[in-house]
Structure formats: structure tokens, C-alpha cells
Amino acid sequence: MITYLLKRTLILFLTLLLVSIAIFAVLMVIPGDPAQIILGIHATPETLRNLRHQMGLDRPVTIQYLHYMKNLALGDLGRSITYDVSITSLIISRLQVTIPLAILSLIFAVSISIPMGIYSSLHRNRLGDYGVMVFSQVGLAVPAFWAGILLILLFAVTLQWLPAGGFHAWQTDPIKALRSLLLPAFSLGFVRAAVLTRMTRSSMLEVLGEDYIRTARSKGLPKRRVVYKHAFRNAIIPVVTIVGLQAGDLLAGAIIIENVFHLPGVGRLVFEAIGQRDLPVIQGVILLIAVMIVVINFLIDVLYRYLDPRIRYK
Amino acid sequence: MRRFLFLGSAFLTIFLLATLSYAQPKPVSGGSLTIAQGVEPPGLDPTTATSAAIPRVVYGNVLEGLVRIDRDGKIIPALAREYKISKDGKEYTFILKKGVKFHDGKPFDAEDVKFTFERLMDPKTNIPNIKYYRDIESVEVADSHTVKFKLKNINSMFLFNLARPDSIIINKQTADRLKTAPVGTGPFKLVEWVRGDRVILAKFEEYHQKGFPYLDKVTFKFIGDPSAQIASLKAGDVDVIGYDVSPENALLLEKDPKFKVLNGYTTTEVILSTNQTRKPFDDVRVRRAMVHAIDRSALIKGAMSGYGTPIGSHMDPGNPYYIDLTSAYPYNPTKAKQLLAEAGYPNGFEAVIKLPERFAYAKRSGEIITDMLSQVGIRLKIELTEWGQWIDRVFKNADFDLTVIGHSEPFDIDIYANPKYYFRYDNPKFQETLKKAEMEPDPKLRRDLYVALQKMITEDAVNGFLFVMPSLPTMKKEVMNWWKDYPMTAQDVMEVWIQK
């Protein structure tokens, strides 16, 4: 296990190094000059030159990169060009929205999909199964942002139960903060639930057809016990893989949904930073995403082991 | 019968009087207002960055200049009580208001004005619009509340430039906070900027105009997605959408009794920018043919649901020098074909139109123009371009044939005097006339010169002049006194109040 951990940590650092080089290269290649975006289209070449110099954009790319990596090694992600605050504090404040949003949407997704998946596998080709399949088909077809807009129309505009968007800080009012995350988390979770429902159903069907299930049933175990103890635990492993992949996908989903619900999260931060060519922020967020994906994958691996003690890591 | 008539007319008079007094209700103090804004300002300093999102939050609300633009586009005093211009037009004396305080408690005086302009003129400050202050020779403090500006030469745009958001007055002690927590003299002070979410302003109790502002609290909420803005307005989370309401949404909300939409001008001229150095657009006959081929009113109907005012030159109808030149090239496809044939393109030609993907008005206008031009044989290929790329390719490197874009800077006809400007119009006569206009002290003669300038670029059909963007501020019907026209880039809420 320890060598495994060391290996994973090494992979993490290598991934980050590659990501940082790739993102630096991409940002250098795409057109759009941050100084020009700040100064607008009427700035004189002289002012532009001065500002580029102040921002260090006139130095060779390799020097810029090494300088950035040096600061990164010291734990300094730099300062945002647009907001003029440290990127670490900016990202931390935005994670207070994005992480609860991600967790909440996963909770929604799992708590909808697992029971539905199990139910439809046990009622295969019956009316309930068709109902569940129709639900998941709709979930797969509807993009999260559109689901978001429909939810806003129903719950915020017509019924006025929940806010149409925006966020209240956890410190001032945790209930309001939670309320403002419900609709976006549901619209993200809904789409995920569709995938997970199908996955759970097919995985369950596969396991239910195994010999040991028949054996368990024929030796007189109650159905309930067979389903939950014998079938479900074996069926869940591919589902957990998908959950892990989806968790890595969280930020991509957050970019869109945070814009629809105008939540000040990491997704919106990177979206706006790209428009403003706020390079240090883009780099910071992308590195964070890389870290998160690697860490989540690691956690999933550990979880496999818990779910199936036969799995061993060397 | 007669008595009934009398009674009837008496009732009618009372009714009319009642509605009349009802139509002009008295402003009420108090309450808070939430304004949805599409773009979050990249910093709150309007002097060192040009994003229009900055003045739309701070100008007139937090920060003020010596003079300002009123609702009709006229220059009126703000922090200056009055101003005098010397006979030779090179010296401006401003008598400052007394008893004005900054939000940090510091009294406002002539030294602040001197500091403000010396900072703006200093090349190290890196302000993008340094040209506004290029003609200032010196700023002198005559006494604690009198400032004299000496100019190198007459500049008829000087006062207008002082009314721009770039010329806001700050004090030395707080100048370094301008980008993150500006301190001004305006009716509202900054409470908090929650980055990525909102800016909160509160009434400044010691504001120098007694009785103002009416509102206690103003919040600017940054909602990028237009349909999310509308949903928030309908759900009651925001009270006003000040800018960029899409025409089709305006049309819908106008019919809803809970809301109102004001249809006024902005200073954004939407034009079909044409690269003068590329063939065949270097030929004036081709450019004129294109204008003849564009039906402006159909374009406005199609792209803007009928909102927006057609223009025939590069000036908005709110400008005091504006003249209507829309009839210079009436819609006439036959004439257009004839002109193309004369220019040697009897079968038309092919070209690329690069449309900034970020702006719906530009995309739609471009698509409609592509169709209209195809009727006369000009076959355009549409290329949607990301904004950063548009700035780099089209604007900086003039790597384009045609594009559609709105020029939002107020009073910006001077861009046609810069031969390096992206549409590359180089006309020495225009450049000379503009210089004359800027140095003409006599208002009547100056007006004539600006009229001549407008005619010149229309004559040369430099760009396809399409329409002025409508303002379309949309709000709950209780919101009173919002600006209908936007003659300056701002969302001034000093006089706004909420009907109970």
C-alpha cells in the first residue's frame, strides 16, 4: 500500500508538471493579449508596451514559465489581473460554492439513481422498468443548463419557492446558502442520475443472472437479503467507477451551471478569466482541476478495495 | 342634458387633474435596488481600464468628475459649481463646490483636482485614453476652491472629455485603492465587492446635493446569462436590467403589466466595418453599392425586433452635432448592381465577414446583411470569431474584409482620422477638418465642421452605418426615474427612487 501511495503521489506531480507546461503553451499560442483587453481597443502602443512590461508579459516564455513554477513551488499561485487579489484566496472563496454544489449534486444523483436502478432491474420489462428507462432517457437527452432554466421557471418564477440564482455566503446565512444551491445541484444531479440509473440497472441484471444468486435464493435466503447483500455489493463496482469519472467531470458541468444560476464558483471564475485572458487565474484553476481529478481517482481506488476485498494494489 | 354635460365635463376635469398629478408622483426616499449586469467589472478603476462594465457601476454613483452629461446629452456642472473659458479658449477656470466630502471624510478641494489630472497625465499611470489630456499644459491651484487649466491649444472636446468616466476626481490618500475599493464624492459609497457575484453600494449621508440620493442601498448583481437575468427579474431577485436586454425579451416584457421597458438611445453605433485597404473594398463604388443593398429598417426589424434607430453616419442621435444622413443611400438593389458593374464586378464577388461570436446583435446583423448582399451578387462567407481573437485579428492586425461591431465610445468620430485604425480609412481632408473642429472655439462654426465631418464619411461610404443600439433598460414598474437614453457610459442611479 505504501509503495502504491508513493507511486500515486509521483504520478500526481508528473501530471501537474505536464498540465502546467501544456496550459502555458496553449495560453501563449491562442491570440488575445491581456494588456490589450484591459486597456481596450483605443490604447496607444506605448501604453500597451508599458503595461505589458509591468505585467511581465514581455519576457521570454520560458522565463515566464520558470518564474511561475518557482512561485508555485513556494505555494504562491500569483495575483489575478482583473480582481487584483491573490489567486489562492480567490479559489478558496470560490470552492465554498463549487464543492458543496458538487457534493450535493452527487447526493442527488446517487439517491435518485441507485434505488431506481435496483427497482427497474428487479422489475425488468414491466411497466415500472419502462417508466424508469423513459426517465433516464429524458435525463440523458436534456442538457443540464436547459434543465436548469426549466427548474428556474418552475420553482423561482412561477412558484417562487427558491431563488432564481445567486448565492448567499455560508457565514451569513447557511440556510439561504443551501437553498441557493438546491436548484443548480438538482439540475446537475438529474443528468448524472440518468447515466447512473442505467449503469446500476444493467450491472444489477448481470449479477442477478449469476449462479451464486440462484444458489443463494435456492438455499432459502430472503429476497431482500440476496438483493442487497449478494447482488448489490457486486453490482456497485462499475457504478462507483462511473461516479468517480463523473466527479472528475464536475467542474466542466459547474462552468455551465454556475453561469446559468450566476453562482460565484470556480467554474464561473475560469469562464470569466478566459474571456478576460486573466492567465494566472486560468493556470491556477486548471492545476486545481488536475489535482482534484487525480485525488478523486485515488479515493475511488481505495473505495474499490473496501467494496471488494479481493482487489489488491501493489 | 346640459347639466349632465356640465357634470360630465367637471368629472372629466377632476379625473384629468387627478391623473395628471398621478402621472408625476413625488419621489420617495428609502428602499434598496438590485441591478442585474451582464459583465462584472475587471477592477473598479475607470481610468486605467476601458471595460464599459466599470463606469456602469461606479460612474456618477461612487465617483464624480468636475462636469457631467445630463439626460439630454448636455454638459452640466458636477463637482465644479461653474466654469469660465478665457477669450482665446485656452484657459478654463473651474470654481469648485464647497462643503463636498469624500467617502473617507476628507474635504474635497482644488489640490485633489490637481492631483487627479497630474496622475492622468503621467505616462507611468498607464491610462489607455491619455489623448483626452494631451492638450493640457498645466493645472494650477488658484485658491482652495479654484482651479485653472491651461491648454497648449484650443480643444473643443476638452469639457466633454472632463465629463467622461476617465476624468473622475480622486484624492491622493486613496488613489492606490481605486481598482479594488474606490473612494469618491458620489451619492453612494462602496460597501463591498464580492468578486464574481456583486457590488454593494450604500447611501452616502454627507452627499453634497441635498435630498439625494433617494435609495438607501444599491446592489449590482453580475449575471452573465441573459435568460438567467430575465428569470431573476421575473422571480423578483433583481429590480432592473440596465443594459443589453435582448430585443425579443424586451418585446415580451413590455407586454407584461408588472414591468416596463424604456426605449431610448445609446452611444453605440453598430456598423458594417469595411477594410479600406482590401480589394474590392478600396473602391468607393463597391462600398456605396453595399450600402444601397442594405435595407436598414428590415435589418432593424430582423436583428433587433424593431428597436434601434437607423443612422447614416458615425454619430448617435443624442449627440448635439448629429444630422440625419440616412437618406444618402436609399435601399436600392438595382442601383447597387449598377455600381458594382461600374466598378468591374458585374457578377459580384466573394468575401469573408468575421462576426464576433460574443455579440448576438453582431451575429444577427451579419447574417441578415449576408443575405441582403447576396441579392446583388456579393457572396459572403460567415466566420464566427471568439472575442479575444476578434480583437487580435480584426482590430489589431486588420486581418479581415468585413465585420459587424458596435462602437460604444461616446463622440468617437475621431477614429476616422486615424489611418491605422482597423478599417484603415486614410483621408487627409477628414484629418484636417477634424483638427479644425477640435480647435474651433465658436460653437456654431464648430457644429458646421462636425456636420461636414459626418457628411465626408457618408460620402465615402467608409463603413456601412447601420443603427444605434437601443438602451432598453427593463425594470419593475415601481422603479422610477431611470435614465431612458444613455448619452454616456453609466448607470446613474442618483435620482432613481422606488414607488411604494
Specify burial of residue B140 (Cβ count, 10 A radius: 0-12, 13-18, 19+). Answer: middle
Specify burial of residue A86 (Cβ count, 10 A radius: 0-12, 13-18, 19+). Answer: middle
Q: What is the ipTM, given to two decimal places?
A: 0.77
> Whole-number mean pLDDT of chain B?
91
Decide if pLDDT at B372 tops 80: yes
pLDDT for the residue B17: 47
User: Mean pLDDT, to the nearest integer, of A22-37?
Assistant: 79
Q: Identify whether the C-beta of residue B299 lies closer than 8 Å to the C-beta of residue B305.
A: no
Q: How far is B2 from chain A (nearest CA, A)?
A: 52
3-state percent breakdown (helix, strand, coil) of chain A, nearest 5: 75, 0, 20
Q: pLDDT band at residue B3, thresholds of 50, 70 and 90?
A: very low
> Which residues from A are below 8 Å from B53, CB to CB?
none
Q: How far is A47 from chain B (nearest CA, A)?
A: 5
Tens digit of pLDDT for each residue in A51-84?
888 888 888 888 888 888 888 888 888 888 888 8
Angle between helices A250-260 and A233-248 (to 10 degrees): 60
CB-nearest to A31 from B180, B222, B388 is B388
Decide if pLDDT at B5 tops 80: no
Rounded Cα distance between B491 and B385, Å, is 29
pLDDT for the residue A144: 82
Decide if pLDDT at B203 tops 70: yes
> Which residues from A are below 8 Å from B231, CB to CB?
149, 152-153, 156-157, 164-165
pTM beyond 0.90: the answer is no
Q: Where in chain A is the domain with CATH 1.10.3720.10?
A: 95-307
CB-nearest to B221 from A37, A38, A166 is A166
Tens digit of pLDDT for each residue in B113-166?
999 999 999 988 888 888 899 999 999 999 999 999 999 988 888 999 999 999
Beta-bridge mates of residue B150: B91, B138
Cell of B255: 407586454
How do beta strands B349-356 and B474-476 pair?
unpaired
Best residue in A46, A83, A160, A257 to probe B by mutation, most B CBs within 10 Å? A83
Q: Grid cell 430472503 — which residue? A: A222
Q: Is A272 on the interface with B (CB under 8 A)?
A: yes
Contact assignment for B49 to A275 by CB distance below 8 Å? no
Q: By CA distance, what is B232's nearest residue in A?
A: A164
Cell of A103: 457534493
Q: How far is B426 from chain A (nearest CA, A)?
A: 17
Provide CATH code, domain A95-307: 1.10.3720.10
Q: Identify whether the C-beta of residue A44 lies closer than 8 Å to the C-beta of residue B5.
A: no
Closest CA to B464 of B333, B270, B316: B270
Q: Under CATH, domain B188-264+472-498 is a member of which superfamily? A: Periplasmic binding protein-like II (3.40.190.10)
Tens digit of pLDDT for each residue in B175-192?
999 999 999 999 999 999
pLDDT for the residue B24: 64
User: Mean pLDDT, to the nearest integer, of A114-126?
Assistant: 90
List B residues 378-407 in contact with A (Cβ-Cβ < 8 A): 386-389, 391-393, 395-396
> Which residues from A are below 8 Å from B393, CB to CB?
31
Rounded Cα distance between B155 and B146, Å, is 21
Q: Is A153 on the interface with B (CB under 8 A)?
A: yes
B266-470: what CATH class?
alpha beta
List A residues 38-57 in contact with B (Cβ-Cβ < 8 A): 38-44, 46-47, 50-51, 54
Q: Identify whether the C-beta of residue B290 lies closer than 8 Å to the C-beta of residue B373.
A: yes
Best residue in A30, A41, A277 to probe B by mutation, most B CBs within 10 Å? A41
Rounded Cα distance between A209 and A109, Å, is 26
User: According to the CATH classification, is domain B64-175 in 3.90.76.10?
Assistant: yes
CB-nearest to B228 from A36, A169, A262 is A262
Tens digit of pLDDT for each residue in B428-458?
999 999 999 988 888 899 999 999 999 999 9
Specify burial of residue B338 (Cβ count, 10 A radius: 0-12, 13-18, 19+). Answer: middle
Sign of the alpha-carbon dihedral angle for B390, B394, B399, B400: positive
Neighbouring C-beta atoms of residue B494, cutoff 10 Å: 18
Q: How far is A86 from chain B (nearest CA, A)?
A: 12
pLDDT for the residue B394: 93
Contact assignment for B128 to A30 by CB distance below 8 Å? no
Rounded Cα distance between B353 and B401, Å, is 6
Contact assignment for A84 to B179 by CB distance below 8 Å? yes
Tens digit of pLDDT for each residue in B315-350?
999 888 999 999 999 999 999 999 999 999 999 999
Q: Grid cell 432593424 — which residue? A: B300
pLDDT for the residue B38: 87
Contact assignment for B236 to A93 by CB distance below 8 Å? no
Tens digit of pLDDT for each residue in B392-428?
899 989 999 999 999 988 889 999 999 999 999 999 9
Which one of A217-221, A276-280, B274-278, B387-391 scores highest in mean pLDDT? B274-278
Neighbouring C-beta atoms of residue B115, cutoff 10 Å: 18
Q: Is B409 on the interface with A (CB under 8 A)?
A: yes
Specify burial of residue A46 (Cβ count, 10 A radius: 0-12, 13-18, 19+). Answer: exposed
Q: Is A237 on the interface with B (CB under 8 A)?
A: no
Contact assignment for B42 to A32 by CB distance below 8 Å? no
Contact assignment for A47 to B128 by CB distance below 8 Å? yes
Q: Identify whether the C-beta of residue B160 lies closer than 8 Å to the C-beta of residue B450.
A: no
Q: Is A31 on the interface with B (CB under 8 A)?
A: yes
> Which residues from B are below 8 Å from A93, CB to CB?
195
Q: Identify whether the C-beta of residue B219 lies closer than 8 Å to the C-beta of residue B32.
A: yes
> Whole-number mean pLDDT of chain A?
85
Cell of B40: 462584472
Q: Is B43 on the interface with A (CB under 8 A)?
A: yes
Contact assignment for A40 to B49 by CB distance below 8 Å? yes
Decide if pLDDT at A1 tops 80: no
**What is the residue extent of each domain of chain B?**
64-175, 188-264+472-498, 266-470
pLDDT for the residue B21: 44
User: Mean pLDDT, to the nearest integer, of B234-239?
Assistant: 91
Decide if pLDDT at A146 tops 60: yes
Contact assignment for A47 to B42 by CB distance below 8 Å? no
Ramachandran quadrant class, A269 (left: phi over 0; alpha: psi -120 to 50; beta: rest): alpha
Q: pLDDT band at residue B9, thresholds of 50, 70 and 90?
A: low
Distances (CA, A) of B412 to A172, B160, B167, B360: 46, 11, 17, 23
Ramachandran quadrant class, A230 (left: phi over 0; alpha: psi -120 to 50; beta: rest): alpha
Instruction: For residue B34, give the H/E element and its range.
Output: strand B32-37
Q: By CA distance, what is A29's nearest residue in B?
A: B389
CB-nearest to B126 from A42, A51, A264 is A51
Beta strand extents in A60-135 (DSSP E only): none
Rounded Cα distance between A189 and A208, Å, is 27
Contact assignment for B391 to A32 by CB distance below 8 Å? yes
